[in-house]
Every structure is written in structure tokens, then in C-alpha cells.
Chains A and B, each alone.
Chain A
């Protein structure tokens, strides 16, 4: 069992010396950083890491957004695209999947007690996965609809960006689905950490936020 270092070291007081050593008298202050160190209750690294991941993905889509805006202004050949209606249904499905995921996570007690594999609460997790699959399938249907209208990747810059942005998002959703399946597998073996579940959930909700942003962008700009 790992030692609970927090308990073991609670009693040690740490005097703080001037950072450059010589030009200030020592002050008695436990720490001067805003964030706490590991043994003083810092957040689990995965909760920092998910924000790092979200930042990176956001930058990627920001780059694609600016590419789209510049491209729209550069050539005279932009033809407005009408979005397939199924996209709106897909949006509802994706948001619903976030709701079901939260319903699963909410039942998860912070004290570390999890539902037994046979508990009906675990159903919400599987519903989330199914809804996620429906979302991706629905995106595929949207692409098929555009193709039926003769709009392919290279047909027009507007269709290029439509396929590019929705495909990039769908790829990340598939990654998120992989994460949810991993959660499910860990759950069945009763080795799921709270931090892992929180990371997967944050990521999944981010997929929602990203999709809504993309939908608004496509609707307004395309």
C-alpha cells in the first residue's frame, strides 16, 4: 500500500529562505507558490493533463477557423453551403450523451464507492457510448447527403471546410468513445480511478462544446 505521505509529513514546518539566498532575511512561510505541492494536496495530474489536451485541441481548431476565414476572403469562389438538417439532430444526440454521462458520474460517490457491475446506474454509461456511436453515424449520414448533392471534399472551399471540420471533430469523438469503453472495461474489473473517470467526462463534455462551436461557425460562415 502506498504510504500516505500527507499524514507522515504534516508535522514538519518548513522555513522559507530568500529565493536568491543572500539579499533578504528568512521568512517563516510554508510556501509562496499559489499551487500546493503533491504532499499538500495538489490536484491529480490527470486533471491538469486534460486541460492541456483541451488547450491543444482548441488551438488546432482555432487554426482551422482562421484558415477558413482567410480562405473565404481570398478567392472569389466561395459558394454558400446549406447544412444538412440531420446535423441538428446529431447535436441533440451528442448533448444528450453528455447528460447521460453526467448521470452516471453523479452516482459515483466521491468517497470511492462505486456501483456494482450489475447496478442499473452503469446502464447510463453504455447509453452514452451508444449515443456517441449514433452521433458519428449521423455525421456520416450528413456527409452522404452532401455527396448526393455532388459536394465532395474538393468541390468548393466551403465543402472542403465542412468535411474537414466535421471529420476532425468526429475523429476526436471516436477517441473519446475509446476512452469511454476503457472506462467501462475498468469498471467491470473494479479498478477504475475517480480521476480517470473525471478526465474522460471532461473530454466528452468538451466534444459537446467544440461541436456546438463548430455548428455555429459552419452555420454562420458556410
Chain B
């Protein structure tokens, strides 16, 4: 669309490179999201299995929204 300046990596001639960078972005932001949630959960849920919270946090519908069409929400 006119008026939008896309990030530099979108001008890459290689679709494979774009896919790799997109995957890196998705995994990095997912890790940041889980890291941000882990702090309050560690304080309040010392007795609960960490893997359970990890699963619940990953299963939050907004995570899937970001995986499909989110650009900077994650």
C-alpha cells in the first residue's frame, strides 16, 4: 500500500530469507512474552508446576492471533 515503508528485510530477494527472519521474530517475541509472564507467576505460583503455566500461557488465543496475522502485537 502507498505510504507504508516496510522493514528492510522485506526487500530481500529471497523468500526463504524472509521466512527465516519471520520465524526468528515469532520465536523471539514468543520467548519475550513467556518471560514477561513468568515473573508474576513465579511470585504467586511457587507450588504449581511451571510447565502447566507455560502451556496455559502459550494456549492463550491472542498468541495464535499473532502467529497467524499479528505483525507487532507479540
Verify that A and B bind, or say they do not.
no
Q: Which residues does A use to contact B, with CB under 8 Å?
A: none
List B residues at the A interface (Cβ < 8 Å): none
